Chain A
Amino acid sequence: MKHLKFGIYSFLIMAILASCSKPAESIQVSPELFHKSVDKVMEIQIHDIFSPPVASRIFVYPNIAAYEILAQKSSKFKSLVGTVNELTAIPKVDSTQQVNLELSALIAHMEVSKSLIFSEEKMEVLQDSLYNVWEQANKVEFDASKAYAFDVVNHIKQYMSTDNYNQTRTMAKFTVDTDDPTRWQPTPPSYMDGIEPHWNKIRPFLLDSAQQFKPEPHPEFSLDKDSKFYEELMEVYNVSQNVTEEGDESEPVQIARFWDCNPFVSVTRGHFMFATKKISPGAHWIGITKIASRKTNSNVEETVNAYTKTSLAIADAFISCWDEKYRSNLIRPETVINQHIDPDWLPILQTPPFPEYSSGHSVVSGAASVVLTEIFGDNFYFEDDTEIPFGLPIRSFKSFYDASTEAALSRLYGGIHYRAAIDNGLKQGKNLGHFAADKLNL
């Protein structure tokens, strides 16, 4: 709601400015417009239902496009060519043309985003309203900036098209081996296929390979009461039973729900089953990046820098995590508990449709928190209002690490992960985050 008002407000200001008919003042691009474009992507992601790994890919390419445009003239930020795998230099801006790089960066951001989502018309609504204003404000600059932006967009689209995404669409589905008691099985209520079984074949952005941060193995599956696995299994069950007793208002339930970040929760009511949608774990951390950028009054290039580097770490975190998920193929707590302990048990959060180990939210939160700490500093207090549109309250955190620890633990409270997936996942993410931060010279 806030953003919408801002939009109308800036529209009015610009309209007024335009009507003053001073010749050709340069178009001002505020960091808020970048937030708005990112918010729009997030909103469409929710509508179109992208799985968490795919959502992370959708964030990163528009950011790279915007970043590379700005880096050309930046004193502070260097191009990612040579750092990001296989990325080549974008077309150079023609200095004879009246190109506003910040404007080109924003146009490129929206345009690359549009090509990655499905509901293009939702992005076009935003584009059209802005294009109108800019065209009236300074047509020459707008046209030149747009033309340059589209050159870059084509370059980035070409780069995007070689990351193996299209090929992974039609690779074999994940075959469930129903005879192996340790292997992952589809879970209620929609019993969806395991999503993105070939995500480790996506070209990583910073990593040498998907396996680079392979976590240590999880405790071996066992129903022996003295085994480590069984101990962790019972921890999930007992925590969940306690939390359920404490009720919806208890801290663990609040934490679990706050960090649910499941883009597709199936709900059954009466005759039908439908999904309630939320943002993905990656999107939540993109939201935190926005909060930090705003709090520090970051300018356009600082804002784009924060988005770009955080989204690069998140995207690689998903590749790393999914690599492990379909290597270990571990069964979810819900399946084991229903089979062997309590047939009526339901986790507080709905089990998402992919193998258990390691926890995606833990890996992603670990990686994002390191990069954000390197950009904005440690002990960065913030109030996280990312989940307000989904009816959840604001939570405040002392630091990014504080938030990532809580995000990881939320999976245990939610009944969808064992302890090892959380602890080792967070470690996996932080190691990856440090590697990314080093490589990005943070």
Chain B
Amino acid sequence: MIKRIVFIFLIIVSCSKDKSDKVDVENNVEDATFINVSSDLTGIDFSNDLQSNGQLNIIEYLYYYNGGGVAVGDINNDGLDDIYLSANEKPDKLYLNLGNLKFKDISVSSGISQDATWSTGVAMADVNNDGFLDIYVCKVGNYKGLKATNELYINNGDNTFKEEAKAYGVDFSGFSTQSAFFDYDNDGDLDMYLMNHSVHSPYSYGNAELRSKSDALAGDVFYENISENNQTKFVDVTKQTGIYNSAIGYGLAIATADINNDGFMDVYIGNDFHENDYLYINNGNKTFTESSDKYFNHTSRFTMGVDIADITNDGNLDIVTLDMMPYKSDIFLKSGGEDSDKVNQIKKSFGFQQQYARNHLQLNKGNHFVDASLITDTYATDWSWSPLIFDYNNDGLNDLYITNGIYKRPNDLDYINYLSNFDFAKYAETTQDSLELKLINTMPMLNLPNALLKNKGDLAFERTLVDENNTSTYSNGAAFSDLDLDGDLDIVVNNINAKASVLENKTSQSTDNNYLSINLFESNKSLNTTGAKIYVYADGKQFFKEQSTIKGFLSSSTRQVHFGLGNITKVDSLRVIWKDRTQSLLTDLKLNTIVNVNKGETTNYNYESKKEIPFNVFNYEHKENSFLDYEREALIPENLSIEGPSVVQADFNADGLQDLFIGGARNQAPVLYMQNKNGTYSIKDIPAFHLDNIYEDVDAIAFDIDADNDLDIYALSAGNDHKEGDPMLEDRVYINDGNGNFTKLNSNLLATNGGTVSNFDFDNDGLQDLFIGNRSIPGAYGLSPFSFILKNKGQNSFEIVLKRRFGMLTDSKWADLDNDGNIELIIAGDWMPILIFSYNKSTGKFDNKTQQFGLDKTYGMWNVINVADINEDGKLDIIAGNTGLNFKWKASVEKPVKIYLDDFDKNEQLDQLIFYDFFGTYVPFASKDKLVQQIPSLKKKFLNYNTFSKVETVFDLTQKNEADILETKYIYELRSMIYLNNGTNFKPQPLPKQAQLSTIEDVLVDNNQIIFTGNYYGFTTELGQSSSNPGGVISSSVKDNFEIVKSLHLPKDFSGRKIVKLKEGQYLVIGNNGKSYLVN
């Protein structure tokens, strides 16, 4: 056996040597941890075979290829988990585990129905509290000739079952997907959430209100277990619980967990299509409150599977939901991507929440979740069904196993085009069946290996091979269990038109990692411990799992709770918190064994009552005007029209108190807040500001422009919505009378789309000079506008000393970085490095010293720079806020994001062609559909998506070489960084991972801590909003080792722009298009 494996290994390695350096899991053969054990050895010869016919096929039933489920559980209490596999067009099968991965088919003898009704999800649970696992099988009944009712097999205790769905009151007949048995009212018996799906195709999105309309076949149902006199009975309490049961619920994913850690089980329902996913928070009084909006900024769109477990080992339950985003570049370019920005906007106006067609990894932040799927690269695993979160390699970190594959690929855009050219005139009643079969036969097929994502800690996952043969399958339901009791978790997978896979885990043989497996019993026989929480304490760490079986897709996994412990050799203690709010504490545990925990003696456990701390709102609300930049420039990645507000903190009336000037968006006047003696702020009415409400402010400074010893204001106008030179872009100067009364200076100022303004007396003549950095040339995203260094000549006159196209600027700072007495100007922006220009007193010129300072490779999407001596070594460091890593684009010096700027179709408008590295291959950012709209000649060149899917370079697209293109710009760095000054140059150091979860828009350094705010909603839907971290505080306890020490208390979707310190321990965080908050 072992020899054979080595042989295969060699062949595969030698065959794939010539492959390029693409990220290709197929090459990591040595990582294969699982062996796909053949059915001859296991005895499991089940195969979910589907044969489309005219009556029933993927056109008639949109979930025709959703496949079958797997349930593993010990039906005869012999310590070995047995396997139930559900089939769609064939009988289901039940296999008894004989040990050593040998199984016996007992489908017939056990009394499991052997008809060929359409089975979907399967669950094992002790429904009647008799100590034996029963089985509930969901069916599609009542549709296109399918007739069936869901079945409840009650375990007789002797490897036989009796179907009693009707007697128990759960003989539902409709479009069932999966059930979840859990104790919703903590009364010791198992209640049931029955998730059903819809069968109609969405024609129009309708209104989200439709979810309040009941549907008897497609709507979800809640059954309460009412056991009296040892007689178990379920009653339908759907209405009372407050769950939705409508036809817009395309329920495909279900998992239960105590999301908010209050002792009551909550429910996650993943819906396909435009309907939101539901998060039902258990109110503890037999009702639920749907709270997805409160907990998530966005969810997956075509949600197909879900699992809930602690991925970061912080004691909170995280959520993984699956979608259908491809990871192979050619498939990606051939499949439909995200909604257009327009459709995205329409769905929102209909009341639907933000969704993206990609996997989500929702990190639990206590009272809400933030998505980390992009930073972890877990967002794309193709058409994915079953996520299973478990520690396959026993290293103490939960990994992610994902099944994928759609037998026929209906979202292939060439196929959709083919359909469009199909002669539907012949689509009459009589010929419909044969035509549909013809259509289905031409539908593309593509099978891929399932995905195994190894958790490396600190939000990093590595794609690794599942089994040594890298078998490609169409896999749906899956479940894990230590089937051979060797101390690692094996996997069973239900495949379409192929034998079910039994994946034997070889971890226990190949590693020295330790583990602990736990069986829970309430009394010696009761199995109803679902929802119990288990904490393992060891080596100063905490490992947490909740016992739950319904996870993945259509499936239920083992009841045994398995902890991988890596090289930990001693467990301090193990705590079980039971559903009835009691706990058991165990010590002296032997590693690498199965521990049976009997409830026995317990002590009370009290859940911390969590009070919601209200946000501390400051009386300023920024109101962004509506302008969609990408309607004017369809190929750009971001909206530059939502950049404000500006803020200046200064003492305007010379009373020793710092006042605030806040500049608003277009149609919102600037506001002056005068600080009162008691630390409060009063708005001072300034008529000149009201007259100027038509300007959009993005930056401002206060300095004494007229040398009369008070602080005047230079307000930088922007908006990206008007052409350069338009009066709506003209900057303004407001002259202070010394008492904080401002009048507008009558002069002609720059009318450009501003990005940053800063001041410094660089020539030491007592007059403040200016740097005005511009953001863009409106209508020509990507090109660098002119920016200016202006020398103050006195009497309100300025002279241009430097005019240059630096880039699309966002921020500028003046500081003497090398302590040589010459001031440096530091500037940053999009598609450019952090630039450093040093003023040379002798020549009176600014010298570019970027390379000398070692920053020439820092091309990024910089939003903010700050200069401070963060490590207290007497040298000024640079802290720079970037887009972060939780982003679809990935960038490095070797594989930068590239933007090609040229008028490729010679129609006098700039076209922006962006290419980025997509899992090892460069792809164009804009879809084919978008590109051909902008550059119609491309439609002739790429008549189908297949030819387009091969495009990797700008030459492939335009036949133009890079060298012949007007301008090319790059992004090498997306991380927010600290550049530590070592005297002559800078040493790069990324901010901690948690600070890379979203964009960083402003940074303040105070008491040697970095206080930052971020989130950005200006990216196009294809890139997605950046909303996973509104703000936090970074500090270093050990020198130069920076860590997040806390999150700022801000709403989860807050889009921060500016931070100002108001007083010791209090900061004002001002948001874009929303409220502002005080935090400490």
Contacts and interface: CB of A to CB of B under 8 A. Distances in A.
Interface of A: 47-49, 118-120, 166-167, 169-170, 172-176, 178, 185-186, 188-189, 191, 193, 268-277, 338, 343, 346, 389-391
A176 B342 contact: yes
B907 A193 contact: no
Given A188-B204, A191-B346, A270-B201, A277 B632 contact: no
B343 A271 contact: no
B907 A268 contact: no
B936 interface: yes
B60 interface: yes
A173 B634 contact: yes
Most chain B beta-carbon neighbours within 10 Å: one of A47, A169, A338, A346: A169
B955 interface: no
A271 B936 contact: no
Contacts of B206: 343
Interface residues of B, number: 46
B346 A270 contact: no
B302 to A, nearest CB: 9
B561 to A, nearest CB: 37
A271 B416 CA distance: 11
A138 B115 CA distance: 74
B632 A173 contact: yes
A169 B346 contact: no
Given A269-B59, A270-B410, A276 B420 contact: yes
B345 interface: yes
28 contacts: A118-B939, A120-B940, A166-B907, A167-B907, A167-B909, A169-B907, A170-B907, A170-B934, A172-B632, A174-B631, A176-B342, A178-B349, A188-B205, A189-B204, A191-B342, A268-B203, A270-B58, A270-B61, A270-B62, A270-B201, A272-B410, A272-B416, A275-B420, A276-B420, A277-B420, A343-B206, A389-B425, A391-B424
Contact of A186 (B207, B346, B411, B417): B346
Contacts of B410: 270-272
B203 A271 contact: no
B911 interface: yes
Contacts of A166: 905-907, 936
Nearest to B272: A271
A277 B416 CA distance: 12
Nearest to A121: B943
SS of A interface (majority): loop
Contacts of A273: 201, 416
B908 interface: yes
Contacts of B416: 272-274
B419 A274 contact: yes
SS of B interface (majority): loop
A191 B909 contact: no
Interface in B709-764: none
Contacts of A270: 58-62, 64, 201, 410
Interface string B105-133: 00000000000000000000000000000
Nearest to A178: B349
A189 B421 CA distance: 19
A309 B206 CA distance: 45
Contacts of B342: 173, 176, 186, 191, 193
Contacts of B424: 276, 391
- Top 7 A-B pairs ranked by shortest CB distance? A391-B425, A188-B204, A270-B62, A173-B631, A166-B907, A274-B419, A172-B632
B1063 to A, nearest CB: 40
A176 B341 CA distance: 12
Contacts of B32: none
B900 to A, nearest CB: 16
A192 to B, nearest CB: 8
A390 B425 CA distance: 5
B628 A338 contact: no
Nearest to B943: A119
B471 interface: no
A169 B628 contact: no
A270 B199 CA distance: 8
B343 to A, nearest CB: 5
A66 B417 CA distance: 33
B426 interface: yes
Nearest to B419: A274
B202 interface: yes
A268 B346 contact: no
A194 to B, nearest CB: 9
Nearest to A392: B425
Contacts of A271: 58, 62, 201, 410-411
A18 to B, nearest CB: 34
A273 to B, nearest CB: 8
Contacts of B472: none
B933 interface: yes
A167 B908 contact: yes
Contacts of A169: 905, 907, 933-936
A345 B83 CA distance: 48
Most chain A beta-carbon neighbours within 10 Å: one of B59, B417, B425: B425
Nearest to B632: A172
Contacts of B345: 176, 178
Contacts of B425: 389-391
A189 B343 CA distance: 10
A167 B61 CA distance: 45
